[in-house]
Structure 1
Amino acid sequence: MKNTGKLIFLLMLFAACHKPLKNTGLPFYNTPDFTPLWLSPQDAGYKSIHTIAPFNLTNQLGNTITNKNTTGKIYVANFFFTSCRNICPPIMDNLAKVAQTFENDRRVLVLSHSVTPRHDSVPVLLKYGQTHHINSNNWWLLTGNQPDIYKLARQSYFADDAAGFTKGSDDFLHTENMVLVDAKGRIRGVYNGSLQLEVNNLIAHIKLLEAEKL
């Protein structure tokens, strides 16, 4: 009987150790150090998950773009400038693969924010988009007030990681990061846009979000 009891205990312990995780989807990110949090609607912190702050910018067509345009949409945000000749071209090429993958999917958008908005006016962005065959239906090149863009990038998207969280608009913003935002404006992933493997993961994670019910 003692051996039987031990066997039952060991079987229960094994089952507990191999119990499926409660949350197997993408995590949420509340802080610029990108500490992952797996939360479900039943968890206490679910209602206080970090969301992207309201914004008001202008795209390459001269249309006003606000957070209302992204409500209910999954989107990828990045930060670039049209005269960049080093990290931006390969990142934008990789981002084009994301945009093309979801070209006919109205649930997915790409938002590329200029970090030199004084130079990247609407006509400049329009020409850039035409030169690089950017589809303005699902990929918006955005310009606006520089302090607003930098604050949005660093404090909402955590685009410059923890090191850039408190920097101002006088500190130049230059990052390889692509940030994945879900349909409720919550950060669900960050990816190095210069690496094809990371971009492949980003595409796969967008598909996961499309199937998510949170």
Structure 2
Amino acid sequence: MKFTLLSACALLLWSSCSFNDKINAVLPIYGSREPVTKTVNGKQVTDTVYQTIPDFEFVNQYGKTINRKSLDGSIYVADFFFTSCPSICPIMHRNMLKVYETFKNAANVKILSHSIDPNHDSVPVLKNYADKLGVTGDTWWFLQGKKESTYKLAESYLVAVQEDSKAAGGFVHSGYFILIDKQKRIRGTYDGTKPEDADKLIADIKTLQNEPQSMIAQ
């Protein structure tokens, strides 16, 4: 009986530690950073300012304007694609569907898929693309806008996109999913063509949802 009781206590303690580890887990912050010195209560304090995603303005599959402010209070995932892509995009978005299904009822999680071929990917084309994937509601937005603005924004996400007549479909782009926190900071990158990376992304989104207030406030 003593052994059974001790075993149960040890299991309970291990479970508690494991749970606390998950709650207290912290993801890294990617991108450039710089120290900034300021005066707080008469004392010089050095703080770190991290790279954030700049403002943008695009239109989603419903014809609604989406900008940086539209994501205030939300954790979100971004990727770059085009609807006529014959290579990695279909694989990426099959994997992203798992993320969408997990968080489609979560008010604080969004997915942004930026078209790199806005001349073809009009609002109706994006809506048709979303419908074929089975995407409804306001969790996953397919966005289009000026090509120059989209390509410039991709640099802020630390990914590259470009036109290339020799490439399949006429474009070259990263297949990465980029995880952004509520402060618009990059917190993770995931290979969108790998199902296991989609699983890791789901786990990391949950980690951000439970992130300590001290990290959120930075």
Deviations, residues 58-114 of structure 1 (Å, cap 9, x unaligned) = 000000000001111000000010001210111001011101100110100000000
Aligned-pair CA distance for 1:122: 0.3
**Structure 1 counterpart of 2:185:** 186
**Structure 2 counterpart of 1:11:** none
Taking the aligned partners of 1:102 and 1:24, their CA distance within structure 2 comes to 20
**Structure 2 counterpart of 1:95:** 96
**Residue 147 to residue 175, structure 1, CA distance change in 2 (3 Å):** same
Opposite residue 71 of structure 2, the aligned amino acid is T
Taking the aligned partners of 2:140 and 2:92, their CA distance within structure 1 comes to 14
**Structure 2 counterpart of 1:200:** 199
**Structure 1 counterpart of 2:14:** none
Aligned-pair CA distance for 1:137: 1.5
Contact 1:150–1:173 (Cα < 8 Å) also in 2: no
Three-state SS of the structure 1 residue aligned to 2:173 is coil
Contact 1:94–1:196 (Cα < 8 Å) also in 2: yes
Runs of 4+ aligned residues of structure 1 deviating over 2 Å after TM superposition are: 43-46, 169-173
Taking the aligned partners of 1:94 and 1:45, their CA distance within structure 2 comes to 38
Deviations, residues 28-59 of structure 1 (Å, cap 9, x unaligned) = 0114xxx9xxxxxxx9453x100000000000
Task: Provide the identity percentage.
Answer: 43
**Residue 45 to residue 87, structure 1, CA distance change in 2 (3 Å):** farther
RMSD (Å) for aligned C-alpha atoms: 2.1
**Structure 2 counterpart of 1:157:** 157
**Structure 2 counterpart of 1:49:** 50
**Residue 136 to residue 44, structure 1, CA distance change in 2 (3 Å):** farther
**Structure 2 counterpart of 1:13:** none
Aligned-pair CA distance for 1:179: 0.2
Opposite residue 91 of structure 2, the aligned amino acid is P
Contact 1:176–1:192 (Cα < 8 Å) also in 2: yes
Aligned-pair CA distance for 1:135: 2.1
**Residue 126 to residue 24, structure 1, CA distance change in 2 (3 Å):** closer
For structure 1, list consecutive stretches of 5 or more residues without a partner in the other structure. Answer: 1-22, 36-42
Taking the aligned partners of 1:173 and 1:147, their CA distance within structure 2 comes to 15
Contact 2:25–2:207 (Cα < 8 Å) also in 1: no
For structure 2, list consecutive stretches of 5 or more residues without a partner in the other structure. Answer: 1-23, 34-44, 165-170
Matched residue pairs, number?
A: 174
Structure 2 residue 129 is matched with structure 1 residue 128 = yes
Aligned-pair CA distance for 1:205: 0.3
More strand by share: 2
Opposite residue 207 of structure 1, the aligned amino acid is K
